[in-house]
Amino acid sequence: ARSRRILTDIAPHSWEHPADKAALQALRRIPIFDEVLKRVFGFFGEKPIRLAFQADAVRVSENQFPKIYRTYKECLKTLDAPEEYPLFMSQTPIVNAGAYGMDKPFIILNSSLIEVLGPEETEAIIGHELGHVISGHALYRTMLYILLEQASLIQWTPASIAIRPVVLALLEWSRKAEVSCDRAGLLVVQDPMVSMSALMKLAGGTRGEDLDVDEFIRQSDEYLEEQGFLDRTYKTLSLLGATHPFAVLRVAELRRWIDEGGYDRI
């Protein structure tokens, strides 16, 4: 078994990116944000939201997906999580995971994630989602999910136009929060190459294919070197509606944090 350090009493601010904190502060300063937040959760409520997410998923336990459950218990221990949050497996072809909920956060892993990622890469993703929960992101991620779903149903009505600034600000914050929680995933798995491999496979992994992390790192460098005006414009526009930043940017940010000594200090 690979030895790892238990990060006793670690605080979430140790992995949170400054841009994540700044984007959240900017979000809270939007005049209608508190009203939208209150109306969204006042209308739906904690229990219906929880049931909606969990109704078509299987609870991970000692008897259901026992290997994943043992991995999850190790992740909780390594990141010194204050409690064990419910973990579910959902049948979907999209290689992803998520942390949701209001007062009672929970984590959902997509089944395809387990099929594409190796055991240690799965640890990195579980650690990433734990980072979201411990940092208090689940509430805002749930709010964003609901608003995006509603916006697709009521496009270009006065109500959807009114909440658009909140949705765009939530998307901006969401992309920054992903960078923070990539760090939490690395702190759990404690192997930078594993974390970057997981991000690579989230971007383009397929079952049974061999991929090269070093080559993906070079791809990340090439992307960052394209810093002309038009390139910056295209990059900005391509991210406007995205909840996650590009995988190459996430790899670059993770490497920057390591190179600057943040990971080693922890």
Question: Sign of dihedral through CA atoms 249, 210, 114, 184?
Answer: negative
The residues assigned a catalytic role are 129
